[in-house]
Amino acid sequence: MRYRVLGGTGIEVSVHCLGAMMFGAVGNPDHDDCVRIIHAALDQGVNFVDTADMYSAGESEEIVGKALKGRRDDVVLATKVHFRMGKGPNRSGNSRRWIIKEVEESLRRLGTDWIDLYQVHRPDHSTDIEETLSALSDLVHQGKIRAFGCSTFPAEEIVEAHNVAERRGLQRFRTEQPPYSLIARGVEAAVLPVCLRYGMGVLTWSPLASGFLTGKYRKGQPVDLSTGRASLTPARFDPSIPENAAKLDVVEKLVELATDIGCSLPELAVAFAAAHPAVTSVITGPRTMDQLEGLLKGASLTLDDATLDRIDEIVPPGTNLYQPDGAWRPPSLTDTARRRRPLTERAAG
């Protein structure tokens, strides 16, 4: 297993990060089996585990906490805050009120006194970024978290956060966690260069493109939209949709490339994400022991320039073949009032 320093923190983390999103009701509800998977990853050199409060409504954190009993000091533990937890107002977002409350809940579920990396899961445009950074800085000073980062932030908001931190004398985001894969390369244009400029660590998620790069979905083969990941987001896998048909065409070319260099498509996918100079660690989220073992087979795989050149020919740099973040879109796109001037003003013009 290879290790890299996380965003100037001095903390060394494995290039493979074990993602815990599939542990719990959403993926694998068998706690004992999930614990065995986590232990198997740790035994093979993985020392970095990433989860979030909202994964299976806190169940994932509870499973990770069980697995780390007696092994906590050897693991770099990351979790996140932002998405709604329960009913009622003020139970989501990036406000000081919610962060201070929810970190205590995460510490309880994880069964630990500290979190190594506490991440803001998505931007919150109802909260001043200074408010968020101030709350997180206080948690660092209190020793409840060691460092903090952001997840799936646009490049301009990462820059704004760093500028506010410098002006106000606050701690800064040490990491960013963006979606990045062979068929979702959009972050190469601005997000990854910005992270390099600020010396941030990068933890990429969805290297298998929500399952499209597992080799399970192939051109000309029927897709059962009622099971697995396809049942959760059928529009992402329905081959009759032109966007998905285009992805399947690319998958065939990538399978051919993987065969030529003697590896599986998932191994190629993970090695590709790890090859970018901005990337510190690649998050893989297995649901079963077989999936874990398959992903870790390629832990030592590195791609030469000829292979990376062929990938660039198949999927040009900076290109997204689909919208990788289905969980969040910026208000500038979702709120029509932010895109349309009032009628009276338009008429006057």
24-69 per-position pLDDT tens digit:
999 999 999 999 999 999 999 999 999 999 999 999 999 999 999 9
The terminus-to-terminus CA distance of the chain in angstroms comes to: 63
Mean pLDDT, all residues of the chain: 93
Asked if pLDDT for residue 7 goes beyond 60, the answer is yes
Alpha-carbon distance 308 to 49, whole Å? 28
Residues 69-83 have pLDDT tens digits of 999 999 999 999 999
Alpha-carbon distance 33 to 37, whole Å? 6
Alpha-carbon distance 324 to 327, whole Å? 9
Asked if pLDDT for residue 228 goes beyond 80, the answer is no
Q: Which two tokens stand for residue 32?
A: 């004992």
Assessment of whether the complete model's pTM goes beyond 0.85? yes
Active-site choice (3, 55, 118, 180): 55
**pLDDT band at 252; cut points 50, 70, 90:** very high
Nearest to 27 by CA among 57, 49, 1: 57
- Residue 245's identity, in one-letter code, is A
Residue 234 is predicted with a pLDDT of 80
Alpha-carbon distance 301 to 307, whole Å? 12
Residues 88-119 have pLDDT tens digits of 899 999 999 999 999 999 999 999 999 999 99
- Which residue segments constitute the domains of the chain, with CATH numbers given? 3-218+264-343 (3.20.20.100)
User: 242-261 and 305-314 helices cross at what angle (nearest 10)?
Assistant: 160
Residues 121-168 have pLDDT tens digits of 999 999 999 999 999 999 999 999 999 999 999 999 999 999 999 999
241-273 burial code (b ≥16 CB/10 A, e <16): eeebeebbebbeebbebbeeeebbbbbbbbbbb
Q: Where are the beta strands (DSSP E) in 102-185?
A: 115-120, 145-151, 175-177
User: 265-275 and 242-261 helices cross at what angle (nearest 10)?
Assistant: 90
Q: Where are the beta strands (DSSP E) in the chain?
A: 3-5, 12-14, 16-19, 48-50, 76-81, 115-120, 145-151, 175-177, 201-204, 281-284
- 55 flagged as catalytic: yes
Residues 293-340 have pLDDT tens digits of 988 887 889 999 999 999 999 999 999 998 887 667 778 888 888 888
Alpha-carbon distance 309 to 300, whole Å? 20
